[in-house]
Amino acid sequence: MRDEVAEGVEQCRRACAYFEVCGGGAPSNKLFENGSFASTETRHCAYTRKAVIDITLEFMESQMNTWRPQSAATIGPSPLR
Ligand code: SF4
């Protein structure tokens, strides 16, 4: 079982652009959805990793196009004082 899980993680490392964030997924979902620990994409990772990463990156990119640093005078006094 351990070897199959490691093989699945290795397959993800080789094949998936999201690996650096995901780390290889959930073995239980791989077994349930794909029938093997030695597998890659599942609906679970597509919805809980890939979609979240895509949406976050799209949002960050959209903000980078419009974001401008604000001066302290524009921001105003700290609400913590
Ligand atoms: S997102 Fe899915 S396919 Fe990619 S590394 Fe994670 S489990 Fe593997």
pLDDT at 72: 66
Q: List the residue whose alpha carbon is closest to atom 3 of ligand 1.
A: 41
Length reported for the chain: 81
2-36: pLDDT as tens digits = 999 999 999 999 999 999 999 999 999 999 999 99
Please indicate, yes or no, whether the overall pTM of this predicted structure exceeds 0.95: no
Closest CA to 19 of 54, 48, 49: 49
CA 21 – ligand 1 centroid, Å: 9
CA 25 – ligand 1 centroid, Å: 5
- Ligand 1 probe mutation, 47, 48, 50, 57, most atoms within 8 A of CB: 50
